[in-house]
Amino acid sequence: MLLQKTETTAKPFLKWAGGKGQLIEQLSQNLPKEITLSGKIEKYFEPFVGGGAMFFWLAQTYEIKHAYLYDINPEIIMAYSTVKSKINALVKELTALEKEYFAAKLSQREKIYYEKREEYNAYISKQVPNNAIHRSALLIFLNKTCFNGLFRVNSRGLFNVPFGRYDRPTICDKINLLAIHRVLKNTQIEKADFEACLKEVDDQSFVYFDPPYRPLSKTANFTSYIKGGFGDEEQRRLKTVFDRLSERGAKVMLSNSDPQNVDQTDRFFDDLYKGFNIQRLFASRMINSNAAKRGLIKELLITNYKKDNILGLDE
């Protein structure tokens, strides 16, 4: 069954550090030619779904027969699963949270935020029985009201992003949530490590990897979206999976930070993905406490194909 395009354009329901919304145009110009020529994708895999900007755009632009969305972060997967299967109950919870928040004076909202954060962390630490609908609503609430829309956890796995001080954040975007619900209808959503895609990927598959970015400095590490982080060894393990998928004939695209933004001699990814197609795109860096350091920054786009010639397959 094909994913149905919606009358209302579905966009990510979570703000996400490194979200791909601003890069969609550049990414779209680098899709495999088989997709752009046919307008169809037999199998689509996104093993680090995060905010899902790439998936939502693809699902409303091309016909996707089978879609597989994975993430190791259980909170993300719970939220996606709730939007997919419990949308009405979720909207009801979010509406109540939004009403409570906006009824409070500006001076009281910070207190409400930290109370909700403590309530949310009680679920994470298993101090209270799980309630997937309320927990997902709290995640969305915190994501819309916290600083910069980050998802970050401490060493105990607890959400620790501070209050964001926004005047009128959109907490319950019912129209968008319903559109997302329709787009997610025929997707397979699974809490899983990125290696899980090896179970299903074949030569009819398109895989997009958007892993936690390798930090450009010790003070710019936003990889702690899951307890334990995502270091260089994980990046190397991901390269091994990239190789195995390429051997199967799958088309694979991967995004990551460009360490040469700060160190021209750092060839970590250039060496790691030597032999594949490496491009440098420009994106806006918005997540920095120092406004002077925000602006255009290079990101890497790595594929196992070129637009006009599939590496190792058509040659």
Q: Looking at residue 289, what is its pLDDT?
A: 45
CATH number of 21-73+175-303: 3.40.50.150
The answer to whether the beta carbons of residues 123 and 135 sit under 8 Å apart is: yes
Strand order in the sheet with 295-303: 187-191, 63-71, 40-46, 205-209, 251-257, 295-303, 277-285
CA distance 209 to 86: 28
pLDDT at 293 over 80: no
**SS3 category, 21:** helix
| Domain residue spans of the chain | 21-73+175-303, 79-157
Q: What is the mean pLDDT of residues 47-58?
A: 95
DSSP H/E element including 69: strand 63-71
Backbone angles phi, psi at 237, to 5 degrees: -65, -35
Tokens of 200: 């299903």
Distance CA 108, CA 281 (A): 42
Most confident stretch, 94-108, 211-225, 291-305: 94-108
- Give per-residue pLDDT as tens, 74-89: 999 999 999 999 999 9
> What pTM was computed for the model?
0.89
The band of 72, judged by pLDDT with boundaries at 50, 70 and 90, is: very high
> How far is the C-alpha of 269 from the C-alpha of 182, rounded, in Å?
37
Average pLDDT, the chain: 89
Are the beta carbons of 90 and 132 closer than 8 angstroms?
no
Helix count and strand count (H, E) for the chain: 10, 7
Instruction: Kindly list the distances between the CA atom of residue 151 and the CA atoms of 40, 50, 159, 161, 247, in Å, as whole numbers in the listed order.
Output: 33, 10, 7, 7, 34
Q: How confident is the model at residue 155 (pLDDT cuts 50, 70, 90)?
A: confident
Give the whole-angstrom CA distance, residue 192 versus residue 79. Answer: 15
Distances (CA, A) of 172 to 148, 175, 196, 241: 17, 9, 32, 38
- Which of 63-67, 108-112, 303-307 is least confident? 303-307
pLDDT at 311 over 60: no
48 to 14, 159, 208: CA distances (angstroms) = 14, 19, 8
Measured between its terminal Cα atoms, the distance across the chain in Å is 33
